[in-house]
Structure formats: C-alpha cells, structure tokens
C-alpha cells in the first residue's frame, strides 16, 4: 500500500463517512489513481478493476446490490461507461464531486 500508517487511518476514516454512492465513486477514483501511477500516464481515463460487484462491495463494506445500483446511477449520470470490458471514467471531475458530496455526518 505504501502509505504511512497515519495517512492510511485518515483515508479509512474519510471513507467510512461516505454513503455507498460516494464510496463507489471514491473507489473508482482510487483505482484510476493507482493505474495512472503504474502506467505513468496522467491522461489515463479507463480502468479494468478486475473485481466483481461482490468483491467491490466487500472492499467498501456494503452489499453487491448496492454497488450495482451505485454503478448504474453513475452510468446514468454520465460519469462512467463500459467499453469492451473496460470502465471508462468519462467525467472524472464529476466523480470527484460525487465522492465529496456524498458524505454523511460523523457522529458526535
């Protein structure tokens, strides 16, 4: 993972306070960031997660059905689309907005 423990804890805490729609958007952005680092291409806009909806659900702590609904909503919104078994992030800025806007309040 390569992150310092404090950065990892902050990332996990931040992730925990998003709703499913926001968590899926954030996970896609995280996959894209990783792919960009691995390929050295900051212009990359597509990913092949290589995970089933169930595996994505396990990663973000929700049900498979919720991941499917969130992905379908992101596709309807025009943020993503599928092209030859590849997930194209057609509106990366829009995904960032969804990831940030879909936060729930932290308990007091």
Please state, in angstroms and rounded to a whole number, the distance separating the CA atoms of residues 37 and 64: 28
**Is pLDDT above 50 for 77?**
yes
pLDDT digits (tens, 9 = 90+) for 41-64: 999 999 988 899 999 999 888 999
- Look up the pTM and report it: 0.79
C-alpha span between 89 and 25 (Å, rounded): 10
Count of domains forming the chain: 1
Identify the domain containing residue 40 by its residue range.
5-101
How far apart are the C-alpha atoms of 72 and 28, rounded to whole Å? 13
Gyration radius of the chain's alpha carbons: 14
CATH number for 35 = 1.10.10.10
Kindly provide the b/e burial profile for residues 71-108, where b requires at least 16 CB atoms within 10 angstroms of the residue's own CB: bebbeeeebbeeeeeebebbbeebbeebbeebeeeeee
Position 32 in a domain: yes
């Amino acid at each position: 993972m390569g992150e310092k423990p404090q950065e990892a804890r902050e990332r996990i805490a931040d992730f925990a306070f998003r709703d499913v729609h926001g968590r899926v958007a954030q996970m896609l952005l995280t996959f894209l960031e990783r792919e960009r680092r691995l390929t050295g291409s900051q212009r990359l806009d597509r990913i092949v997660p290589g995970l089933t909806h169930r595996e994505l659900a396990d990663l973000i702590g929700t049900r498979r059905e919720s991941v499917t609904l969130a992905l379908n909503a992101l596709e309807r919104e025009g943020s993503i689309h599928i092209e030859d078994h590849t997930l194209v992030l057609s509106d990366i800025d829009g995904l960032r907005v969804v990831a940030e806007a879909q936060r729930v309040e932290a308990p007091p």
